[in-house]
Amino acid sequence: MDSVLKFPTTAQAPLQELKNLFAAQQQAFQAEMIPSKAVRKDRLRRVELMTRKYADELAQTISADFGNRAPQLTMLADTMLVEAAARHAIKHLSSWMRTRRAPTALYFQPGSNRIMRQPLGVVGVIAPWNYPYQLALAPAVGALAAGNRVLIKPSELTPRFAALLQKMVAEFFRSDEMAVVTGDAEVGRAFSELPFDHLLFTGSTQVGRLVAQAAARNLTPVTLELGGKSPVLVHSSAEIEETAARVAHGKLFNAGQTCVAPDYVFVPKDKLQEFIDAFKRATVRMFPRIANNPDYTSIISERHYQRLRSLLDDAHAHGAQVIEINPEHETLDPAARMLAPTLVLGATDEMRILQEEIFGPLLPVLTYDKLEQALDYINRHERPLALYFMGSDMRARDHVLSNTIAGGVTVNDCIWHFGQEDVPTGGVGPSGMGAYHGEYGFLTFSKQKPVFQQPWLNGMFLLRPPYGPRFAMLSKVLKKLI
């Protein structure tokens, strides 16, 4: 396979070469606007083979970028999900590609309708650093299945991974099929300004707004996978010990650096201490020590580490109780960027920890007397990317689901709805727009083109001018048929 372009991580990146690569993909698409099922399956199989070949190296490289991250976590959250997505797409591709018949109103018959699913052209993917492989390749799977060309920009915060991804893709794909460009924020800005046929961005709401503004200048449609403050609502019917264990796992997976991680939790006031104690026990079982623990993930960068420390300092200064869970009472070296799991009690809206997406192992615990108090709080704030309900009362569950709006929901667990290929994944409002995964990703990166077929023998000539008594009579008939 021919090589892709590599950009130095400087503001003076060769942006003209980026444009040239984009133009080459456009030209390749024009030459093959509707790739066959065989071509698409071949590309999807190459994604699967590439993932399998480089799984171990991906785990090692991503861990090096973080400082420490368990290879098992990368397998679960990155490589395994990409393989599953590729296999799912291969299995269902024939059905997804099929042209659909559509109903035709009686007054347009004997004409008929059908819907063609066509690729859009060149799809751009701007991927984040937290699950760098999955959030680059899972959208690419949907785009390739739909018959598009794909250009990927990984995060500059994972430079080792970005270089490896570039090498991998160059080995398995021609650069006019799928390619990777690396570089700093300036390259990212130029990337978002290209006239893609669709652009998918995963990252913060703040940057998502900038990407949407840049894309709007080209009228490029966007899918924004953002974040926000995803709540856990613990109902009085919940079994607290297991609930706390599931919340702890969802919160501390990747040290909280997950867009759908629980951002804060609501518990009944009379269950507060029980939840705190159970959360501590669950955390200690998973992480009996923090320093030098191969299973515990480092914070990605010094800037993010200091931001999380400042959230805790601000909460403490405003009167919150901060409970650090450090089983061995270790002194954690700031250079290692290991931040202990921490509960924050008594948090209020004046504190930054309830204003900003946390994206780390810090968990505010709020209380409520009546369920409606928790629902009112959730609904007064921006719509979250995820919402979690814990409890066995199905009437309460249905009430919560009917009276909240969120990008996705897991009931009686955390984060797992994100891994489903048969349902859409996406945010709502400030937590994002659009969706992908499975057929929903295929449709996101496709144009559903309606085609009306008119037979030569039809009665539509009766509606042509000159208008007169005949038209008046026919219009009365049509109004009855509408």
Q: Has residue 465 been placed in a domain?
A: no
| H, E, C per residue of 10-79 | CCCCCHHHHHHHHHHHHHHHHHCCCCCHHHHHHHHHHHHHHHHHHHHHHHHHHHHHHCCCCHHHHHHHHH
Q: Are residues 219 and 260 in the same domain?
A: no
DSSP secondary structure string, 394-413?
A: HHHHHHHHHT---SEEEESS
Q: Are residues 318 and 218 in the same domain?
A: no
Distance CA 266, CA 375 (A): 10
Q: Has residue 91 been placed in a domain?
A: yes
The CATH number linked to 319 is 3.40.309.10
Instruction: Name residues of the chain where pLDDT drops below 50.
Output: 1-13
Q: Are residues 393 and 336 in the same domain?
A: yes
Percentages of the chain per state (helix, strand, coil), in multiples of 5: 50, 15, 35
Q: Are residues 240 and 161 in the same domain?
A: no
**Token pair belonging to 28:** 């390749």
Q: Has residue 453 been placed in a domain?
A: no
Contact between residue 318 and residue 338 where contact means Cβ atoms under 8 Å apart:
no
CA 273 to chain centre: 34
Q: Has residue 469 been placed in a domain?
A: no
The CATH number linked to 36 is 3.40.605.10
* pLDDT (0 to 100) of residue 1: 40
Domain of residue 176: give its range. 15-226+433-448
Can you say whether the dihedral through the CA atoms of 279, 285, 290, 296 is positive or negative?
negative
* pLDDT (0 to 100) of residue 460: 85
Within 8 A by CB and 6+ apart from 381, the residues are 229
Q: Are residues 180 and 218 in the same domain?
A: yes
pLDDT by residue (tens digit) across 8-57? Answer: 444 344 577 788 899 999 999 999 999 999 999 999 999 999 999 999 99
Q: Are residues 271 and 216 in the same domain?
A: no
Q: Has residue 462 been placed in a domain?
A: no
pLDDT by residue (tens digit) across 297-316? Answer: 999 999 999 999 999 999 99
- Overall number of domains in the chain: 2
Q: Are residues 178 and 289 in the same domain?
A: no
Q: Are residues 128 and 242 in the same domain?
A: no
Active site residues: 225, 259
Within 8 A by CB and 6+ apart from 357, the residues are 204, 205, 227, 228, 229, 263
Q: Are residues 222 and 236 in the same domain?
A: no
Q: Has residue 461 been placed in a domain?
A: no
* pLDDT (0 to 100) of residue 14: 55
Closest CA to 52 of 4, 87, 94: 87
Q: Has residue 108 been placed in a domain?
A: yes
Q: Are residues 167 and 281 in the same domain?
A: no
Q: Residue 91's CB: how many other CB atoms inside 10 A?
A: 12
pTM score: 0.93
Which amino acid does the sequence have at 23? A
* pLDDT (0 to 100) of residue 480: 83
Q: Are residues 393 and 444 in the same domain?
A: no
Using DSSP, state whether 305 is helix, strand or coil: helix
Q: Are residues 127 and 250 in the same domain?
A: no
Closest CA to 475 of 463, 465, 466, 461: 463
Q: Residue 334's CB: how many other CB atoms inside 10 A?
A: 13
**Token pair belonging to 88:** 């799912």
Q: Has residue 454 been placed in a domain?
A: no
